[in-house]
Amino acid sequence: MFPSVRMRRLRRLNLVRETRLSVEDLILPLFVDETLEGKGEQGRKSIGAMPSQFRFSTDAVVEEVASALELGIKSFLLFGIPRRKDAVGSEAFNPKGIVQRAVERIKGEFGGDAIVITDLCLCEYTTHGHCGLVDEETGEILNDETLEILGKIAVSQAESGADIVAPSGMMDGMVAAIRKALDDAGFKNTAIMSYAAKFHSSLYAPFREAAESAPKMGDRSTYQMHFANAREALREVELDIKEGADIVMVKPALFYLDIIAKVRERFDVPLAAYNVSGEYSMICAASERGFLEKEKVMIEALTAIKRAGADLIITYFAKDVAKILK
Ligand code: PBG
Ligand code: ZN
């Protein structure tokens, strides 16, 4: 009790710190755009709703990975924007598809120095923009029919050299289906990072511009979770672990720190959190207007995600943070 206990005694020394951000914890998302292929210097195109973020050609993405590796970032999450979309998302499992080519290039160039994670979903590849197959008559998302395609995508991504596949479509049974498809094809060491508790959030809006993945009709509320639910998130995580997820993810991060903390407390698997596009763009926009200081808010936000219990943070700020930590 006061006056023998004085909390400010140590605070004055700034010696005891419980949480530290480190560059190894950061995963940088990257968008590869097939329409930028062969454009040389024009192989990078800025994303309007996400300041300082770009879509890349495969040539340009290799350069981007090189510059991130230089800063100490070692993991990358790849999203593909194909030239052609169709109802079943065939380009997602094309062995010469945009993501497959990008993975081959990056792994060919950097080998084990770059950990390549591939987002595994249909939404960027389908004309309707949903994360699963759609029944044309009823508009219903066909869960079980989607699983087979997810398995095919996983195998083609693993064949191209992906270290980790990251299913993001919130289909029931997706992790088990992908694990089985990978094992059957001999990819026992390809890991799965599951978007286990992915909420139906308004914070994905800038990403949908970046990845051209907005649903053309309806929304994702029949497969992504309602933001009001926490216990349901724990069930989702538990199921994905049982199905064989090596890493589970909570997404978004900042409005969902309670979920991160609960998952951390209850489960012992590695936990990732996705600091999504809306979280990124809010901070950028407010600091462009002079309301907030970008660097400070960014470090506070990411440290909070780590403090809540995340081992890994997927963030568009990865390079900015790495520069500060250096
Ligand atoms: C789609 C997907 C989304 C994000 C990653 N994968 C958007 C969505 O569900 O609409 C969001 C990432 C971000 O906002 O940064 N499967
Ligand atoms: Zn999707």
What is the three-class DSSP state of 33? strand
Q: In testing the pocket of ligand 1, which one of 204, 216, 254 has its CB within 8 Å of the most ligand atoms?
A: 204
* Predicted local distance difference test score (pLDDT) of residue 251: 98
Q: Which of 198, 262, 306, 319 is catalytic?
A: 198
* Cis status of the peptide bond prior to 252, with omega within 30 of 0: yes
- For 250-284, b/e burial (b = at least 16 CB within 10 A) is bbbbbebbebbebbbeebebebbbbbbbbbbbbbb
User: In angstroms, how far is the first alpha carbon of the chain from the final one?
Assistant: 40
C-alpha 36/C-alpha 32 separation (Å) is: 8
Backbone φ and ψ of 207, nearest 5° = -60, -40
Whether residue 121 has its Cβ less than 6 Å from ligand 1: yes
Q: Is 39 a catalytic residue?
A: no
Q: Is 251 a catalytic residue?
A: yes
pLDDT in tens, the chain (326 residues): 999 999 999 999 988 999 999 999 999 999 999 999 999 989 999 999 999 999 999 999 999 999 999 999 999 999 999 999 999 999 999 999 999 999 999 999 999 999 999 999 999 999 999 999 999 999 999 999 999 999 999 999 999 999 999 999 999 999 999 999 999 999 999 999 999 999 999 999 999 989 988 999 999 999 999 999 999 999 999 999 999 999 999 999 999 999 999 999 999 999 999 999 999 999 999 999 999 999 999 999 999 999 999 999 999 999 999 999 98
Interval between CA 70 and ligand 2 midpoint (Å): 31
Q: Are 160 and 104 in contact (CB under 8 A)?
A: yes
Q: Which two tokens stand for residue 148?
A: 């087979």
Neighbours of 287 (CB within 10 A): 17
Interval between CA 285 and ligand 1 midpoint (Å): 20
Distances (CA, A) of 180 to 113, 150, 168: 28, 11, 17
Q: Which two tokens stand for residue 284?
A: 């950028």
Q: Which two tokens stand for residue 293?
A: 């200081």
Interval between CA 15 and ligand 1 midpoint (Å): 39
* Predicted local distance difference test score (pLDDT) of residue 14: 87
For 251, residues 6+ apart whose C-beta sits below 8 A from its C-beta are 195, 197, 198, 199, 201, 273, 274, 276
* Cα atoms in the Cβ-side hemisphere of radius 13 Å centred on 132: 25
Q: Domains for the chain: give ranges and CATH numbers.
A: 19-325 (3.20.20.70)
247: nearest Cα among 147, 159, 117, 132: 117
Angle among Cα 249, 101, 271 to the nearest 5 degrees reads: 10
Q: Are 171 and 132 in contact (CB under 8 A)?
A: yes
Whether residue 131 has its Cβ less than 6 Å from ligand 1: yes
- Nearest ligand, CA of residue 203? 1
Q: Are strands 164-167 and 115-120 parallel, antiparallel or unpaired?
A: parallel
Whether residue 280 has its Cβ less than 6 Å from ligand 1: no
